[in-house]
Chains A and B, each alone.
Chain A
Amino acid sequence: DGGITQSPKYLFRKEGQNVTLSCEQNLNHDAMYWYRQDPGQGLRLIYYSQIVNDFQKGDIAEGYSVSREKKESFPLTVTSAQKNPTAFYLCASSVQGRGETQYFGPGTRLLVL
């Protein structure tokens, strides 16, 4: 059963702590994306990757980092430099060059304690 999985569903972060959100896909997609969604707002692009070992900053990359060592995986680290990390984080994937049609995971809700 193909799809995108994100874990955990809920994540709690203490002040000054880095946390990593997992995103895995078995759709054989080359491209993967990370978005942030604040309550009542649309999605904003954090990072995207069109191919393994390459990634680009989106609109709000400050305070975040990513890696793309495997085609199936695109983890997002929320660093302590991100001053307002509480949000709903969504991962997506697409066929390379077809970023208009994206398939999304269920999301991770990050809360700061």
Chain B
Amino acid sequence: DAKTTQPTSMDCAEGRAANLPCNHSTISGNEYVYWYRQIHSQGPQYIIHGLKNNETNEMASLIITEDRKSSTLILPHATLRDTAVYYCIVPHGSGNTGKLIFGQGTTLQVKP
């Protein structure tokens, strides 16, 4: 997997947008960026993924820079239930092996 770098922790006020950055400067042209999150003592949850264009679903938006070396996950209106560890992953060849490398991620604390 291409190496990713994320801040260790971030805070966000409830109701505000949470913007979680990720650097992946060694990403290859055909590699996607995936985001998962893990709420304490639960299994990880898939959020969103993208290649080049910005993506949006019911959970979040993903903004990928034009050079694809970094991306930002946006939770538009963070709630207390969004407090979790957020993982940015660039899988390589994981389609068949399922070998996703979950690093340390960013611990997002949403505060009232």
A25 contacts B by Cβ under 8 Å? no
User: Which residues of chain B have C-beta atoms less than 8 A from A104's C-beta?
Assistant: 43-45
CB-contacts of B46-91 with A (<8 A): 46, 49, 87, 89, 91
User: Which residues of chain A have C-beta atoms less than 8 A from B89's C-beta?
Assistant: 100
On whether the beta carbons of B96 and A97 are closer than 8 Å, the reply is: yes
Interface of B is mostly: loop
A98 contacts B by Cβ under 8 Å? yes
On whether the beta carbons of A43 and B94 are closer than 8 Å, the reply is: no
A101 contacts B by Cβ under 8 Å? yes
Query: B93's closest neighbor in chain A, by CB?
Result: A99
On whether the beta carbons of A42 and B96 are closer than 8 Å, the reply is: no
Q: Contacts A99-B97, A107-B41, A107-B43; is A43 near B34 (CB within 8 Å)?
A: no
Q: Which A residues contact B (CB, under 8 angstroms)?
A: 4, 31, 33, 42-43, 45, 48, 50, 56, 58-59, 88, 90-92, 94, 97-107, 109
Q: Which B residues contact A (CB, under 8 angstroms)?
A: 32, 34, 41-46, 49, 87, 89, 91, 94-105
